Structure 1
Amino acid sequence: MATSASPASSDHDHYSPHLERTIQAVNWTALAAIAVDIYQASTFTWGSQLHGASNLVRFLKLHSNEDVEVVIRVPYAQEEGIDEKEMELSRLAMESEVATMEYVSSHSRVPVPRVIAYNSSSDGGGIGSPYMIVSKAVGTPLCSVWNEMQDEQREVVLRQVVDIILQLSSLRFDRIGAIFKGEGGTDHSPWTILPLTKISSSEIWTIWPAGVDKTFTSAFDYWIAYATCNIERIDRNNFGSVKDYDYVCAWLHRSLIPSLYNTSLDTKGFPINHSDFHSQNILIDDVDTPSPRITAILDWEGTSTAPTTSFAQYPLFIVDHPFWDDDHLLKPRNMRDQATFNRLMREAECRLDPDGGLPLSQAFEASHGVYLFEQLVSFPYWMGGQLFHPFFEHFFGEKETDKEPFSWTYYSTMISGPLKDKADQFKNETIVRREAVEILGEDLVVFKLTRSQFKALSLQNLDKFPSGGEVEKWLDSKYAIE
């Protein structure tokens, strides 16, 4: 059996160090041999290599009577010291992704790559990494051609996008969570929904903040639990920082939930919601014709079932990026594309159920507020500065140039009223931390200490703090009691 060299790394040195670690960790010859055995190939050749935020992807050409090319994906190798919980979460993430792809492929016409083989264990059964081998779909990423397409071509693509969305909307489960096969299934169906915390570990940058390990049967319960986790995170983390404004905003987010989510849309269950339905994950063919054709939807990692109101949001490639200026050239085009999407969705939904009204279409058309809310709640550190003013303008009519914007009035009212005790607590904690920094130094009193970590550090160094000082008074107060 002929082999090719391991992937070259000299042209990737400016990327994440995870990449080089991954290249060295994986037994690429053994991984290729798995595909060779499945296809009974005589030889193989490595093709191109891609990498994104979380995974390394390589194309493998298998040579026999009929040549085949497959795609191999491995997650980046982690630094040493990763705990067993993180490894288990990573394993479950791949298990859920595989199950989701199989379910969508077998229950709809949505074009999904076929999973040929995978191993979700930490060493991949001797490969050195978890891996997934999937069929290669023809086509080019939509993101590489979307901006050059004519309006008529984009309408053809959007018509197919609407069809895919309606198919995913028809795939409903009785609760919100991650899709698995086998684990917890019944005699009637091998498919089950398990808590999202089983497939995410980070507090901010994943589907779910840490702290809730359950599934949900209500959009209200789901998002209120999510927003409550954010409130608790702000309260708990970054001891002594100025955070009363963030805390007030988190309270506002939670208060808006009952007005945002239409639970009547969930009477038939919760649809499968692709976690990153963006143009880089949509492959398209026949680009140079009047009828471009979607050939595959990629990257089902992190996909889950979701409230229908959350599901009914425009594909991200026709949504203005939060970082764009007001006069960005693509904003008028996005507005046209959204209008086209609305028309196509109404037509398609009416054909499916002429007497059912247009509930999904109406949800899409009213989705801007939900989009702003979910971006801010899900990615507060990243999106806060860019979406804060659009958020208040959408919900309260506030303009950024107003002399007394409503956001400031709301904040002032909350910290002098319902949240006064919490605001006073945060103010006191900044004073306490300042004394601790003066005595112990910033190397010990780092910015990201939680309240409990700061308490433990203070107790370890109690003899260094002055009697009757701010730290000692705080340790004796109700706020130091967890």
Structure 2
Amino acid sequence: MANKVIMSSSASSTCFHTDPRIKMTFDVVNWDALSSLACKHFQVDSSHWGAQKSGGYNLIRFLHLHDSQNTTLIARVPLRDEEGLDTSIPKRIESEVATMEYVERYTNIPLPHVCHYSVDAGGDVRSPYILMTKVEGTPLASVWDDMDDEKRRIVLRQVIGVLLELWSHRFDKVGALFKRPERGGGKDPWYIESSTVLKNPTDTIECQYNLLTTSFPHAADYWLAYSNAYLRNECETRFGYKAKEYSYAHGWFMRSLVPALFDPSNDAHGHPLTHGDFHSQNIMFTDLDTHPRLSAVIDWEFSGTEYVSTFGQYPFFIVDHPWWDEDHPLRERNVRDQATFDEILFEEERTSARVGGAPLSRLISESYGVYLFQQVMQFPREMYAPLFPLLVKHVLGEYGDFSYSYFDALLENGILKKELTRFDQEAEAFLEARRVLGEEKVKMLIRLVEFKDLIAKDLERFNEGSVVREWLASVT
């Protein structure tokens, strides 16, 4: 199979007419200034722009230098919208460049080389950018399904090699990797900052409850805090939602799993460097017709250090998709691929030095519950809906009569009985408020604090002894 030029997953093809940010970004950037900068850096007289790609975060253009080697560079600029650039972009670029330099310097993992970059939205180019070398190869995503088992084994061995390299590089906390200017004195230039610097503040549970700015020494602490924040969020949002008691019970069930799934001792030896999007579209291979050879791992945006339990999971390209039917043909193949992965990883661990703590092979082979837990907790309800039954079945042995009875028992007679009464009262107060004040004023999915403020302003419209007045008295 012929090799293809490829770039990061954030540069996967997107139809220009579907995303107005693409034209907006293209029109803002001074492409002549960027090409002149590249020519000056490589000491060539001229160049021309080639293919253009885009994705969720970036616009990519290929720059062909007119030199004797026919050098091709990738110019990547972040997408902007009508409000401008995401304020986190400078830090995001700094961290990505630092991570790529660290990996290039201290590991044998092949990756693009950063030739030049800027975090400045002004200047001649009028945009932050990264100029990097083009890598040869085909994304594993486009060939994996058609590979025979022997070539898949060859590929998995090299993928495991990448994971073991990253696994061996540990840092004292979880976050984004940065680099200070190197000066004399022997001070380590590499350091970790909170992952919050890579994200714009949004109404997520992590940001809302400051979890990203808190340093948790191990995953058990983090997920316990996350679960508690999830439960608080359930109480504070979707006021009066009829089925809230079940989503709350689900959150309570998730929190109860933390001690069983996350062993604090696993993080005692530090947190491994982790690729931010280690999917098959970012793993490049050449020589596919003979002996597949890993040519590069690309797209290091959002990379950093992670908890051992997050790192220690199967690559997603050999994990069942939650929306697959039970008889999906790739399920059986994933079972075989995971068995091959386990076998190779165990073999590699026996012949190479490893860091302290539980071996990666054991963590990955036992990672199914952790994988399901993290997917359910981190994605919106509509996305994790297929996964929650799988997690319940994994823990309780079934998702059916017994699990339904389990949750009903928690709510009706068990530890969550008080919460059930509370949510029922809220639902009654919400319905009464809508009848009295109107549906336009009392909107669906209103937050608790918003509902409380709304009622306080129109309290005289509710009779003494009304459900709303009783509810308000119970929370003030």
Counterpart contact for 1:209–1:230, Cα < 8 Å? no
> Paired residue for 1:39, among 30, 37, 42?
42
Counterpart contact for 2:237–2:445, Cα < 8 Å? yes
Q: Deviations over 1:343-401 (max 9, x none)?
A: 100010000149989721111111111111111111142432111111111111114xx
Deviates more, 1:365-374 or 1:59-68: 59-68
Q: Which residue of 1 aligns with 2:160?
A: 162
Query: Structure 1 residues 356 and 175, CA, compared in 2 at 3 Å: closer, same or farther?
Result: closer
Gaps of 5+ in 1: 1-10
Deviates more, 1:52-61 or 1:270-279: 52-61
Query: Structure 1 residues 195 and 37, CA, compared in 2 at 3 Å: closer, same or farther?
Result: same
Matches within 5 A, 1:396-475: 396-399=396-399, 402=400, 404-406=401-403, 408-416=404-412, 417-462=414-459, 469-475=466-472
Query: Structure 1 residues 268 and 452, CA, compared in 2 at 3 Å: closer, same or farther?
Result: same
Report the Cα distance in structure 1 between the residues aligned to 2:122 and 2:466, rounded to whole angstroms.
55
Report the Cα distance in structure 1 between the residues aligned to 2:432 and 2:347, rounded to whole angstroms.
65
Q: Which residue of 1 aligns with 2:59?
A: 56
Paired letter, 1:194: E
Q: Deviations over 1:258-315 (max 9, x none)?
A: 11123333332110122221101111111111x1111111222222212212211000
Please tell me whether residue 28 in structure 1 is matched to residue 27 in structure 2. no
Q: Which residue of 2 aligns with 1:131?
A: 129
Paired letter, 2:129: Y
Report the Cα distance in structure 1 between the residues aligned to 2:306 and 2:287, rounded to whole angstroms.
33
Q: Which residue of 2 aligns with 1:114?
A: 113
Q: Which residue of 2 aligns with 1:388?
A: 388
Please tell me whether residue 341 in structure 1 is matched to residue 341 in structure 2. yes
CA RMSD of superposed structures (Å): 2.8
Paired letter, 1:368: Y
Report the Cα distance in structure 2 between the residues aligned to 1:125 and 1:442, rounded to whole angstroms.
51
Please tell me whether residue 16 in structure 1 is matched to residue 26 in structure 2. no
What's the TM-score once normalised by structure 2's chain length?
Answer: 0.88
Q: Which residue of 2 aligns with 1:5?
A: none
Report the Cα distance in structure 1 between the residues aligned to 2:355 and 2:206, rounded to whole angstroms.
35
Report the Cα distance in structure 2 between the residues aligned to 1:216 and 1:469, rounded to whole angstroms.
46
Query: Structure 1 residues 464 and 44, CA, compared in 2 at 3 Å: closer, same or farther?
Result: farther
Question: What is the deviation of 1:140?
Answer: 1.4
Q: Deviations over 1:179-223 (max 9, x none)?
A: 22229x996211112222222346687987752212222221122
What's the TM-score once normalised by structure 1's chain length?
Answer: 0.86
Q: Deviations over 1:394-442 (max 9, x none)?
A: 111114xx4x131x22221222322222222222222333334445555
Counterpart contact for 1:179–1:192, Cα < 8 Å? yes
Paired letter, 1:223: W
Report the Cα distance in structure 2 between the residues aligned to 1:28 and 1:248, rounded to whole angstroms.
54
Paired letter, 1:103: Y
Q: Which residue of 1 aligns with 2:316?
A: 316
Matches within 5 A, 1:174-213: 174-182=172-180, 188-201=187-200, 211-212=210-211, 213=213
Report the Cα distance in structure 1 between the residues aligned to 2:70 and 2:205, rounded to whole angstroms.
38
Counterpart contact for 2:272–2:307, Cα < 8 Å? yes
> Paired residue for 1:140, among 138, 141, 156?
138
Query: Structure 1 residues 47 and 443, CA, compared in 2 at 3 Å: closer, same or farther?
Result: farther
Q: Tell me the secondary structure at the aligned position of residue 447 of structure 1.
A: coil
Query: Structure 1 residues 460 and 209, CA, compared in 2 at 3 Å: closer, same or farther?
Result: closer
Q: Deviations over 1:150-204 (max 9, x none)?
A: 1111111100011100000001001122222229x99621111222222234668
Q: Which residue of 2 aligns with 1:366?
A: 366
Q: Which residue of 1 aligns with 2:11?
A: none
Question: What is the deviation of 1:224?
Answer: 1.5
> Paired residue for 1:67, among 66, 70, 93?
70
Question: What is the deviation of 1:240?
Answer: 2.3
Counterpart contact for 2:31–2:125, Cα < 8 Å? yes
Q: Which residue of 1 aligns with 2:262?
A: 261
Q: Which residue of 1 aligns with 2:6?
A: none
Question: What is the deviation of 1:253?
Answer: 1.3
Question: What is the deviation of 1:459?
Answer: 4.1
> Paired residue for 2:474, among 474, 477, 481?
477
Question: What is the deviation of 1:34?
Answer: 2.6
Q: Which residue of 1 aligns with 2:284?
A: 283
Question: What is the deviation of 1:135?
Answer: 1.5
Report the Cα distance in structure 2 between the residues aligned to 1:205 and 1:157, rounded to whole angstroms.
37
Q: Which residue of 1 aligns with 2:148?
A: 150
Report the Cα distance in structure 2 between the residues aligned to 1:38 and 1:440, rounded to whole angstroms.
67
Report the Cα distance in structure 2 between the residues aligned to 1:87 and 1:354, rounded to whole angstroms.
39
Q: Which residue of 1 aligns with 2:8?
A: none
Question: What is the deviation of 1:69?
Answer: 1.1
Question: What is the deviation of 1:331?
Answer: 1.0
Q: How many residues align?
A: 458
Paired letter, 1:191: W
Paired letter, 1:110: I
Report the Cα distance in structure 2 between the residues aligned to 1:93 and 1:99, rounded to whole angstroms.
10
Counterpart contact for 1:369–1:394, Cα < 8 Å? yes
Counterpart contact for 2:21–2:79, Cα < 8 Å? yes
Paired letter, 1:164: V
Paired letter, 1:93: R
Q: Deviations over 1:41-94 (max 9, x none)?
A: 3222222222222222222212233322111222221342x7xxx944333222
Query: Structure 1 residues 430 and 93, CA, compared in 2 at 3 Å: closer, same or farther?
Result: farther
Paired letter, 2:138: T
Report the Cα distance in structure 2 between the residues aligned to 1:287 and 1:396, rounded to whole angstroms.
44
Query: Structure 1 residues 244 and 303, CA, compared in 2 at 3 Å: closer, same or farther?
Result: farther
Paired letter, 2:79: Y
Report the Cα distance in structure 1 between the residues aligned to 2:250 and 2:375, rounded to whole angstroms.
13
